[in-house]
Amino acid sequence: MKDSYEFEVICKNIVIDYFNNKAEITDNKKISIKDVYVVWMCKALKNSKALLSTNAADGMYYELTYNGEKDEIYLDAYKKWENKLVKREEFKKEVTINE
């Protein structure tokens, strides 16, 4: 992989192909590169990782990992189940182990 931009473009195209091949046919929706955005991306040594999502209302996000040793990219697709507020006073301060 030459640089982060190349990795980003490749990741977006992988997400596009995945979505367009897996989306419900009845939804009659296809996405393009303008519909995919990077949430987070980093590079460490020969490896890279990116979290991406789309503007589709399906709650999906995608994690792509580049293995520089093997020149391979792995795709994990996730569904967002819930977005819940946990107020500061509700934070658990101690963990107890029951024996």
Residue 19 burial class via C-beta count within 10 angstroms: exposed 0-12, middle 13-18, buried 19 and up:
buried
* pLDDT value of residue 98: 74
The residues spanned by each domain of the chain are: 4-90
Residue 47 confidence (pLDDT) above 90: yes
Residue 26 confidence (pLDDT) above 70: no
- Overall pTM > 0.85: no
User: Can you tell me the distance from the alpha carbon of 73 to that of 56, in angstroms, rounded to the nearest whole number?
Assistant: 23
In degrees, rounded to 5, the angle at the alpha carbon of residue 7 between the alpha carbons of residues 34 and 62 is 65
* pLDDT value of residue 99: 64
